[in-house]
Structure 1
């Protein structure tokens, strides 16, 4: 799809959250970008430009989901428990206009090369997509045999992932972790990318100690090390709040509801005076949701969806009474800033035209990705190649 050929379109009378509340505005979109934002009912309209009157509906940035198992996850109970690839329609109907794919426990039968192919496929089908190299274990599975080269040389790779403080990790030592994070950092410098390291966290009593060991032994900035799934245990969440207070980002998983649901986690972080700018939300979508007993034995599993992103936004506003402009940040601008995506997460001129049109009760009416409508009346009007 050549998005540069998309015709201009004017969206009138939008209650714009960019994500800051800008009131009623008109948006001009062309070539997949936000071209101009003006006061409502401005006189200047390009000749023969289609006009959509939104009648005061909420318009906000599309969600950036930075933790998705695009080619599936799972496998903890054998090959039949490998989850399937994600479908484009499931992403866009949940409001996701940009996504970051990664591997999970299974770095044996799933590979970064396949993940790269899926990432490119989603780009072709209409949304923006990136990926992390690596998987749970170290040394990291890569495409070029080097984390640094993967990040520096492959356009879609913006960082690396591994698992720590989890019985499914490879029990990496401090040197291995520090070297991985340093390679991602340098690769990011060489490739003009974020060069991040994302750490799956389990229930080990070690909590975030491996991250502090990296900070003590390597010169990698704390803003490049992201612990995720931090709401899966009370002690882990308290450690994560301390980490964020010290300058790090933390990622709360919206598909985890116990012991701390994601909306409550955001509220608790604010009450602990953690800067809202350091909080992000992601779905862990399409990953398996295994349940283990206290001996580490698998006793059940499910598959994470994407609807939890919107549900968390609704809960933050409707139950916890956060202003919408604040509730949007961990799904939009905060994520874009952490990932180094300067053209995402905001609705200002020169940014990509990735936006949601929401009803007053925050249900999704429309989704637009790079200026192309993907969802109409809450249902995907553009689907993946084989859907």
Structure 2
């Protein structure tokens, strides 16, 4: 099956001008001039998407989603449900990385792995971190390194809580040992081998990260701190770390990405070492897309500056070499946006159309033989 996206303005994520994108199976075959009539003349089955007047971009990568739902820090009844496929694909997200948080007892690594596998069966790309807030980490096989070696979906360790009242107060030596274990797992498997660090709002802020780099044989590329937008002092420390080669992550939970991107740029942060995630559990995965759209439409960021934060930068830090860009040979993860409004019109994940003409085109498999009606609206959704 071929899909031909004709005549859109392509951002790959860098501007590539008006071009067509030809998808063959689950890969991108060509970006540039494509003769659709010649393909049809060969007797090939070609599905054509007219993208004239539209913007064509890579599928978004979300490096931090609680796929099993949030831990529930106001009692058991405050736990949130699992993330559904439709929530992800209608947000233009074609690749997710799942993680556990403070609850690693009722939210389990086996459950998280099963959820990632389910997403893969349904057509999107899904990975996970081994562990959670705890140190030593809760793992599938006894260690992060073994998880990485034996489980395809595991790409690193995390999210490990530091400078947070909910952390297990790991020592610097324990953090260094964990980061080294994940890194060696990455060397042996070709995976990212990163340690994803949950940064709290404690007074220590990023001091543990600085000390790891200064006092232990830990390289900047091994660490990936997130939630660095909790305060201006924390953000300024994160900006300094990007100049040392550490990639940091901002979440969109508070829906104030524009504010933090302005500060990041004003203070000389290295945008190549910045990513953005949804931290979906209580917030919707769609918040990620909506916040990126907002910084382009309302904060004056160009699309070519904003897109790498959710595409190529994320693919680089996660070492997902066929993700985050529209290139021949890359995975066929493509999003078509309406020019101006930047509304999502089409989403293709690994060559499969998930959203067509702005409407969901797939159904979760568990609903196929079910008579259930599942419809939940958060209070903030109702207020909009």
Task: Indicate whether the TM-score tops 0.5.
Answer: yes
Q: 1:13 aligns with which of 7, 27, 43?
A: 7
Alignment-derived partner of residue 210 in structure 2: 212
Is the 8 Å Cα contact of residues 72 and 79 (structure 2) preserved in structure 1? yes
Cα deviations by residue, 1:23-53 (Å, 9 ceiling, x for unpaired): 1111111111100122366775352333322
In structure 2, the partner of 1:53 is: 50
Match of 1:368 among 318, 342, 348: 348
Write the deviation string for residues 228-260 of structure 1: whole angstroms up to 9, x where unpaired.
011112221111111112221110001124xxx
Please list the CA deviations of residues 311-345 of structure 1 after superposition, one character each: whole Å capped at 9, or x if unmatched: 22222211222221111010100000000001000
Q: Pick which of 370-379 and 26-35 moved more.
A: 370-379
Deviations 1:245-299 (A, max 9, x none): 2221110001124xxx21221222122222211110000001xxxxxxxxxxxxx
Q: Deviations over 1:159-185 (max 9, x none)?
A: 011100000000111111110100000
Offset from partner CA, 1:209-245 (integer Å, 9 cap, x none): 1112221333222122011011112221111111112
Q: For residues 351 and 113 of structure 2, what CA distance do their matches in structure 1 show?
A: 24
User: 1:123-154 CA distances to partner (integer Å, 9 max, x unpaired)?
Assistant: 00110000000010111000111111112221
Q: How far apart, CA to CA, are the structure 2 residues paired with 1:66 and 1:383?
A: 24
CA contact (8 A) 1:250 1:279 kept: yes
SS at match of 1:12: strand
What is the Cα-based RMSD across aligned positions, in Å?
1.4
**Unaligned stretches of 5+ residues in structure 1:** 1-6, 287-302
CA contact (8 A) 1:232 1:256 kept: no
Q: Which residue of 2 aligns with 1:38?
A: 32
Please report how far the alpha carbon of residue 75 of structure 1 lies from its aligned counterpart in structure 2 after TM superposition.
2.4
1:284 aligns with 2:279: yes
1:132 — aligned with what? 129
Q: Take 2:332 and 2:144, find their aligned partners in 1: how far apart are those partners?
A: 32
Gaps of 5+ in 2: 368-384
Superposition pairs of residues 2-151 of structure 1, within 5 angstroms? 7-39=1-33, 44-45=38-39, 47=42, 48=44, 49-151=46-148
Contact map agreement 2:22 2:29 (CA 8 A) in 1 = yes
User: More displaced, 314-323 or 143-152?
Assistant: 314-323
**After superposition, where does 1:225-244 map in structure 2 within 5 Å?**
225-244=223-242
Whether contact under 8 Å (1:24, 1:40) holds in the other structure is no
Matched residues in 1 for 2:304 and 2:39: separation?
28
Q: Does 1:272 align with 2:293?
A: no
CA contact (8 A) 1:75 1:105 kept: no
Q: Which residue of 2 aligns with 1:195?
A: 193
1:310 offset after TM fit, Å?
A: 1.6
TM (norm. structure 1) is: 0.90
Q: Do structure 1's residue 327 and structure 2's residue 309 form an aligned pair?
A: no
Q: Deviations over 1:328-368 (max 9, x none)?
A: 01010000000000100000000011011101111111111
